[in-house]
Amino acid sequence: MNLPENVTNFRPMYSSPLEAQRLEIAIRAEVILSQFWRDDDTHDGMRTIELEGLVDVLEGCSAAEIRAAWVSYQRSGPRTASGRLVKPDAGALWKIVILLRPKPRIAPNNVNVKETPINRVSAERAREIMQEVFGGIECNQDDKPSSN
């Protein structure tokens, strides 16, 4: 298969939207973590496990949220004594995503809403309705169903 030289907009077909999202997160996470990995001391298996962990934790986050969290982390994340940024774990980025999300708002209690008045039927009208519907069956207010 011949791929174009510029594959930044290439989106292959996935079996599910979740799989596509996880791949997008994995690519973004690999770019983020690549600046902390050293080719001579980071085994490929460790990279894979670390990426899987990031993807698992950030799975419910959008690409824009992850980008914003990464920007925030780069600006204010913990640094070593020499000033180097400490490698983030998935939880650190997830926490920033949650903090950056808009806070839920409680719907206002609309006090100005007028309740529809209940048109109550008088006892006399209720007897008339019962007479019309059930034809001749008397219903007294004192009659109560027995509880046997």
Task: Enumerate residues 6+ apart whose C-beta is below 8 A from 58.
Answer: 25, 29, 66, 90, 93, 94, 97
* Residue listed under structure tokens 């990279």: 47
Q: Is the pLDDT of residue 146 over 50?
A: no
Mean pLDDT for 59-73 is 90
The reported pLDDT for the residue numbered 142 is 56
Query: Of all residues in the chain, what percent carry a pLDDT higher than 90?
Result: 13
- Summarised one tens digit per residue, pLDDT across range 120-145 is 888 998 888 888 888 766 555 555 54
The reported pLDDT for the residue numbered 94 is 92
* pTM flag (> 0.75): no
* Residue listed under structure tokens 């109550």: 120
Q: Which of 13-22, 66-75, 113-122, 125-134 has the lowest mean pLDDT?
A: 13-22
Q: Is the pLDDT of residue 4 over 50?
A: no
State the Cα–Cα distance between residues 25 and 98, nearest whole angstrom: 16
Are 121 and 133 in contact by the 8 Å Cβ rule? The answer is: no
The reported pLDDT for the residue numbered 42 is 66
- Summarised one tens digit per residue, pLDDT across range 83-117 is 888 888 888 999 999 999 998 888 777 667 677 77
